[in-house]
Amino acid sequence: MKLFGIRYLWFKLALVGGSLLGILLLVQSIQTYFQVSRGMVLAELRREAQRQVGLLQREAARLGFREPAELAPVLAEMQEEAPNRIAWIRILDSSGAVLAQAGNPVGPPLRPPQPQEMPADPFLVPGEIRQTPEGKVWVTVQFFGLGRRFGPIGRGPAGVPAPVQPAGNLQQALKAPQPAPNAARQPRADIPRQPQSEAALPGAARAPSPPPNLRPGPRFVELGLYMSGVSAVFGTLLTNLILNSAAAVGLVASMVLLWLRFPNYVNGKRLEQQTELARKVQMDLLPPSKLEIADVDIAAQCVPAWQVGGDFYDVFSTPDGRVAIAVGDVSGKGLPASMVVGLLLGAVRASNWMGGKEEHESSTARLSELIRSRTAIERFVSLFWCYYDPARRMLYYINAGHLPPMLIGRDERGNPVVRRLEEGGPVLGVLAGVSYEQGEAEVRPGELLVMYSDGVVEASNASGAQFEEEGLLGVVLKNLEKPCLEIRDEVLRAVNTFMGEERAQDDITLVVARFLEKGVGNNAG
């Protein structure tokens, strides 16, 4: 029992370790899931917002637009080209007023950030999530350099398009000097002046004034981007994380279930050990599988369907040289049936049923009443018990509802003759006041007595067919001249071959006895 406790201590430690591992895996999976589903998705949304604003700035520079209203067709085109990504797009001034828009915005415009709120890295511009009928939308505000001077769009070296100059950030734009609306514009030093003489000439064409570097006030772009459009990029990763989380939950649930069922498991293992001990005790109660007593050669085998069963057999001799043989089958299987088997084995040995016909019949009736009064109503027993008198060469028997044993010999021509021993009465333990009648059969030297339980003839294969009595008789007749031990082994081998991979559904008991010439056997008790 001490080793039993140590072994299950390790089992408990394994359960605790598995539970902790499952919880750790679950927590890590949840953290990773939220990191991917929120952190990485939002990072991808910020990159998408930067890309869309960059495209808008380059398009405005290419077309030479200076006013937000001029960009309304461009905004509509951008939104129509990516309807699964862009929910809406609108241009705001510094106060949050809408100057141009496309799409179906939900909610008021976001407040443009103030200079002190603007992060140094434009990638870190904040946003918020809004719920729309089409799904969740991430809304952000990006600085938009409309009206700033962009580099010339022409051809660079080797015909490569010259890049558009960056528009700068919000802090630079707000800190830059703003010209007064009506202030006189000073000539720029980088623009060559016209000679005075040319300017004074009558009718001379005057060069147009260059446009200002900044239009009044900064502009902002509010973008509403569908989160589902970006989440598809991480679909496989999110699916794997969900599967990992489900596996972690399953592991934790399994550990909890095992922990809750652990006491029952321990009790079951203890019961299994006790059942194995009961099986050994039951097998020890049965006589040896091969023996010779009083001129009778006997080979027997009992194979329980479970660890213990309800089949039994017994063989013993009396001081006056008679040989007693009993084969029985208790209804049901397992421990309840094995307990009744112990009762029957004791009754077979203790009662004076071999004292004559009346003692045999009355002993059977008393045994039936004992079973009927001391066991459950559904418990009954089929029993064939007989004793052989070598001096008279007579076999006296009572068959109490058991399958009729076969007494097999040969006639004058050497053909097999089969006699079935059926005299007796009903099964034991069912009817009150029942009576039994003893039968008798003359035995010749060399004749074979085959006793069996229903587990032999009712053995089934995969198709549901049964071995039946014809199968048993065929194997016995084929090996009729062999020793009892070989006949027993051949029958059991044939039954197992017939069942194939199917497991026996009932106990299998077989007893084969050959009656020898007088004085050939050993007189052993």
398 pLDDT above the threshold of 70: yes
Write down the pLDDT at residue 491.
Answer: 97
Per-residue pLDDT tens for 330-384? 987 777 888 888 889 999 998 889 999 999 999 999 999 999 998 888 889 999 9
Domain locations in the chain as residue ranges? 1-102+123-151+164-174+214-284, 286-515
Question: pTM for this structure?
Answer: 0.55
Q: Which residues of 452-486 are buried (b: 16+ CB within 10 A; e: fewer)?
A: bbbbbbbbbeeeeeebebebbbebbeebeebebbe
Write down the pLDDT at residue 372.
Answer: 92
Mean pLDDT (the chain, rounded): 80
Mean pLDDT of 287-314: 87
Distance (Å, whole) CA 323 – CA 328: 17
Q: Do 125 and 142 meet the contact criterion of CB atoms below 8 Å apart?
A: yes
Domain 286-515 superfamily per CATH: PPM-type phosphatase domain (3.60.40.10)
Distance (Å, whole) CA 520 – CA 517: 6
Per-residue pLDDT tens for 244-269? 778 878 878 888 887 777 777 777 77
Mean pLDDT of 408-433: 94
State what percent of residues in the chain have pLDDT above 90: 40
How would you class 45 by CB atoms within 10 Å of its CB: exposed for 0-12, middle for 13-18, buried for 19 or more?
A: buried
Where does the pLDDT of residue 521 fall: very low under 50, low under 70, confident under 90, or very high at 90 and above? Answer: low
Write down the pLDDT at residue 459.
Answer: 93
Write down the pLDDT at residue 284.
Answer: 80
Write down the pLDDT at residue 185.
Answer: 40
Mean pLDDT of 475-497: 96
Phi/psi of residue 418, each to 5°?
-115, 125
Distance (Å, whole) CA 137 – CA 129: 6
Distance (Å, whole) CA 238 – CA 259: 31
